[in-house]
């Protein structure tokens, strides 16, 4: 199996995991509400788990959303431009996106390594190593940068019109 196919499966697999994790926290919230309203003691960790899972779901699904052109974009200005400037601006938008995501990847990875070195713990109703949060950010930002880079290398541009590059 080629590296590209493995990578493509990784992106789809992460999107599926992100979606399933949202289903799981929905069920957790429902159970929490039922327990509260029936006089039972709810799980103490529900709120923290929901926060962690929402970060995971966002960072795992975001690269797939970039691939499917489902990311948030404002394209009304670009869509009204003539072909030449629209293509140039579209490529510029991709390059700026790649650079911004590369910077965010670097910074979140640096903070993650700092958290490992200092053995920091995120203390809420449950404790997890603080580096995990920043590692999720670094991974998501990195994969989004790769997706924008793939769009650029295929010679596509950001059209701003939605529904395609």
Domain of residue 43 covers 3-153
Average pLDDT estimate for 1-24 = 96
Domain-located, residue 165: no
Query: At 119, phi and psi to the nearest 5?
Result: 55, 40
Task: Identify whether 158 is part of a domain.
Answer: no
Q: How far is CA 150 from CA 18, 39, 81, 106, 144, in A?
A: 22, 53, 24, 19, 10
162 in any annotated domain: no
**Would 164 be classed as within a structural domain?**
no
Instruction: Count the domains in the chain.
Output: 1
Domain-located, residue 136: yes
Q: Is the model more confident about 39 or about 162?
A: 39
Asked if residue 96 belongs to a domain, the reply is yes
- Alpha-carbon span 56 to 58, nearest angstrom: 5
pLDDT tens column, 46-57: 999 999 999 999
Integer angstrom CA distances of residue 82 from 49, 51, 55, 78, 86? 48, 44, 39, 9, 6
- 59-98: pLDDT as tens digits: 999 999 999 887 666 666 777 778 888 888 888 989 999 9
Mean pLDDT of 6-30: 96
Sequence-ordered list of residues with C-beta below 8 angstroms from that of 40, at least 6 positions apart, any chain: none
Q: What is the 3-state secondary structure (H, E, C) of 96-144?
A: HHHHHHHHHHHHHHHHHHHHHHHCCEEECCCEEECHHHHHHHHHHHHHH
pTM over 0.85: yes
């Amino acid at each position: 199996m080629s590296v590209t196919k493995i990578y493509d499966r990784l992106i789809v697999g992460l999107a599926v995991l992100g979606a399933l994790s949202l289903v799981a926290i929905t069920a957790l919230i429902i159970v929490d509400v039922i327990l509260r309203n029936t006089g039972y003691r709810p799980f103490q960790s529900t709120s923290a788990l929901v926060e962690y899972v929402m970060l995971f779901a966002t960072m795992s699904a975001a690269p797939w959303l970039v691939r499917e052109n489902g990311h948030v974009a404002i394209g009304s200005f670009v869509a009204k431009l003539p072909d030449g400037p629209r293509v140039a601006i579209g490529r510029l938008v991709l390059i700026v996106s790649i650079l911004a995501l590369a910077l965010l990847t670097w910074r979140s990875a640096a903070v993650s390594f700092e958290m490992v070195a200092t053995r920091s713990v995120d203390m809420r109703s449950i404790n997890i190593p603080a580096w995990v949060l920043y590692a999720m950010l670094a991974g998501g930002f990195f994969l989004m940068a790769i997706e924008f880079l793939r769009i650029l290398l295929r010679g596509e541009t950001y059209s701003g019109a939605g529904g395609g590059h």
